[in-house]
Structure 1
Amino acid sequence: MAEYTRQTTLDAPSGKIADLKDIDWTFEGADTQYLTHGLHSYPARMIPQIPRTLFDYYKSKGVLSEGDTVYDPFSGSGTTAVEGRLHGLNAEANDVNPLACLLTFAKSIPLPREEVETARRELLDGLAEELREVRSAYEDGTLELDELAVRDGWFPEPQQQELWHVRRRIDGIEAEYGEGIGRLLRVSLSSIVRKVSYQRNGEYKRYRLPEEKRDEHDPNVFDLFQSELNKNVRKMRKYSARADHSLSTVVHYADSRTATSNDSAVEKDSADIVITSPPYGDHRTTVAYGQFSQDPAIVAGEYGYDEMKDVDKNGLGGPNSDLKPIADLENWSPSFGATLDALREKGGRAEDAMNFVRDYYEVMKEVAKILKPGQPAAWVVANRTMSRVNIPTHLITQELCQHLGYEHEVTLPREIPTKTLPWENAPENIEGTKGDLMANENIVVTRSPSE
């Protein structure tokens, strides 16, 4: 195996960990952007210190060994896959968001450092002048405009055409150097798309700048892209020097509710550990991953508008789910039953809660098939409110897992010092009202059914 020097920082314990409860899981002040973890932003991203500490613990206990496999049914930006590779593990993952799949591949698969640098130089060579020519042609009316799949009114011109020109250059580089290099370049372009657009700063949902401020928005596409690309190349070179190039990372652009039976099925009894951060709720009312990803994926990743518009509908509890409600869920999880009673009493969103937990339960069932018997699964969950009723997701997770035959090992609370998610929400969409803060998480650690 390629030489690997473990990260030596103060944001995670070093040496053997006696007990998971001895860890301060907040990791306040920790660097969460080291190596390829910092290639691209993503909403509600699980910090890498969580899987890193869990891997260290289970390797020290002899539960995991070099060459084992970690599975993540909600891959997101690939945090688990990256840390798995850094700990000598193969990785497999699912996600219904194509941008998440692109990020996971790009961040977790190391690349030949010399080729990365050569491709970077070739891409930037002459690009500034070409973008000036695009702008000049646009201003004098001679530019043949590309019809993009992004919605009208979300990008300034000629920057929209400049982004498209960069994309075409990346297509050519990818044809020459291969898909791995191409992914790194596309991620670099993707990460500036929202900055170039009229997207309001600090929002993960799609909110535009007020019209009166759009005339002042004149971003320099080349400067933004060059800065992001240079940063990402540096991060990838460092990651590639430390990660084992012989390991495997497989990412399925597929639904984890049917992970073992869809067209790109995950094999049963194939994973030695699961570490995942499920969505906090349906995408429509909590973290809108599809809205965040829409324009970056269309511009940089060659995905269509309709495909990206469906991401949030395809998420847990989304309208595209064809699963039927399971009445027994509220019996299998007393905490969920009490939650539904409270929602019904208030005339709240009991049906939405049922749809989400029903879908979540299906993932738990699939994970039980994928995990080898008796192996650990860590579910990083946050509680939220619906119709001003607190949803105890950690208890629901524990109880439903136990119903499926999982053994509950421990629940580890953690504060969230910084995270891109809705700290406050108004579930009833009543102007001026706010819900509870979503400022803490729980890591529910279970063991898969023994049979």
Structure 2
Amino acid sequence: MMPYSGKGDWDFRSADTKEYTHCFHIYPAMMIPQVARGLVDLYGNEGGILFDPYCGTGTSLVEARLAGMDGIGTDINPTARMIAFAKTTDYNLKRLTGATEKVLSYLEENLDSISDYSGFREPENVTWEQLEKWFPAKSIGEICCAIEKISEVGYMRGRLFLQVALSECLRLVSFQRNGEFKLYRMPLDKRDLFYEPLLPKLRDRIERNLAGLRRFSETVSPATEVKIRGFNTVHTNGRRHFPYFPCADIVVTSPPYGDSGTTVAYGQFSWLSNVWLWLDDRAPGALDREMMGGRKSSLEEFGCAAMDEAIAKVAQVDQNRANEVMHFYDEYLRSIRNVAAVIVEGGYSCFVVGNRIVKGVQLPTDAFTAWAFEQCGFTHVVTYIRDIPNKRMPSKNSPSNISGVKSSTMVNEYIVICKKIDF
């Protein structure tokens, strides 16, 4: 029986999840900062190192700096890495403010006269024809103008800051359907009349991000730093990216709930930013196939009874789907083994996971996570159960190993705490 704690201390229903630089950019399935903050407070130590192996846009890394810790994060999505670096780095606020004012002033004077993209150079990673499927011609021209002006900014971090603000605007001025993270366009009959001016949205995000950055800069210690990397923990422990090995006093992370194709399509969400900002030239689904569980192969049982039983039930309904699920957890296990190697003796792993339902079967990711770390010389300390406010999932099931307790999957998250045993 796994030790669970479900007191509601981790729900944070009315918390401001956009304080400091957490306001910088929307992104799918972000861990809220209050969860990361609570875990760092409980299990981290000032002056230590926090590692996030699936860092996304850097929520845990921002919290590491706020707590007086250094941070190292890795993610294979270029857009996520760009945002994470922008949120966690230090800025010369005077130079940054000057750069943003200069760019905004130029755009205010020039965007109104733009009617299409004629006169602009075609972006390197995407064609005009592809862009016309996603944007009005005027919006393509406005974005090109903004990118050209931002590229002239001499202050490198100012350029980064402006790129992040622009990145968030791209979906908002595109034909992208509202409320979708995957790439779905609005109906054809609505596209002819669609146009959203870029400048007001860009200005709002610059002002919002500057306010969050000022508060962050006033709070963090300049003695702390964060490094953002791009290695995949499924394939390597990233030894060369750390100052010494092992070095992480704590891991705070929220891994994918499942393969990107059937859960959150991070690659599709980021495609517009990746191609517009010269970050990545792959097709919309290609990055998702590189993510955990994106490649398929035949596998056998793990030895984790709870997960093996769940996958067997899925196989009774759909063998192909069971194979996909098994492959995701095989790569997840490989990743955990590499992450475990980074953590020092006496250090903690804090994984925020979801127990998704596949073919009517709840997959006990929490139990599997604890089991996987136990295979790597850790002891399972506790699993906290938190409600996720405003999540809408109709399917009802019991959380793993808690008999008779009903819960909607993905309405709950499970915060799995394990400690590396001292030898």
The residue aligned with 1:292 is: 269
Pair 1:335-2:315 in alignment = no
1:37 aligned to which of 22, 30, 35? 22
Mapped partners of 1:262, 1:282: distance in 2: 25
Q: Offset at 1:65? A: 3.1
Q: Offset at 1:117? A: 1.0
Q: Which amino acid aligns with 1:109?
A: T
Q: Deviations over 1:183-223 (max 9, x none)?
A: 21111000110001101111111111111111231111111
Mapped partners of 1:177, 1:339: distance in 2: 53
The residue aligned with 2:228 is: 251
The residue aligned with 1:215 is: 192
The residue aligned with 2:68 is: 88
Moved more, 307-316 or 83-92: 307-316
| Residues 235 and 79 (structure 1), Cα distance of their counterparts in 2 relative to 1, 3 Å cut | same
Q: Which amino acid aligns with 2:377?
A: G
1:143 aligned to which of 118, 126, 143? 118
2:389 aligned to which of 417, 426, 434? 417
The residue aligned with 1:48 is: 33
Secondary structure in 2 matching 1:304: coil
Q: Which amino acid aligns with 1:441?
A: E
Which runs of 5 or more structure 1 residues have no equivalent in the other structure? 1-18, 59-63, 426-435
The residue aligned with 2:405 is: none
Secondary structure in 1 matching 2:382: strand
Contact 2:74 2:230 in 1 (8 A): yes
Q: Offset at 1:81? A: 0.3
1:378 aligned to which of 350, 356, 359? 350
The residue aligned with 1:353 is: 325
Q: Offset at 1:304? A: 3.3
Q: Which amino acid aligns with 1:187?
A: V
1:312 aligned to which of 288, 292, 297? 288
| Residues 351 and 395 (structure 1), Cα distance of their counterparts in 2 relative to 1, 3 Å cut | same
| Residues 437 and 369 (structure 1), Cα distance of their counterparts in 2 relative to 1, 3 Å cut | closer
Q: Which amino acid aligns with 1:88?
A: G
The residue aligned with 2:177 is: 200
Contact 1:267 1:370 in 2 (8 A): no
Mapped partners of 2:300, 2:119: distance in 1: 58
Secondary structure in 2 matching 1:372: strand
Q: Offset at 1:269? A: 1.0
Q: Which amino acid aligns with 2:52?
A: D
Contact 2:378 2:418 in 1 (8 A): yes
Q: Offset at 1:326? A: 5.3
Secondary structure in 2 matching 1:446: strand
Contact 1:260 1:267 in 2 (8 A): no
Q: TM-score, normalised by structure 2?
A: 0.89
| Residues 240 and 265 (structure 1), Cα distance of their counterparts in 2 relative to 1, 3 Å cut | closer
Which runs of 5 or more structure 2 residues have no equivalent in the other structure? 396-407
Q: Offset at 1:328? A: 4.8
Mapped partners of 2:84, 2:65: distance in 1: 12
The residue aligned with 1:108 is: 88
Contact 1:368 1:449 in 2 (8 A): no
Q: Which amino acid aligns with 1:144?
A: G
Q: Which amino acid aligns with 1:77?
A: T
| Residues 130 and 156 (structure 1), Cα distance of their counterparts in 2 relative to 1, 3 Å cut | same
Q: TM-score, normalised by structure 1?
A: 0.84
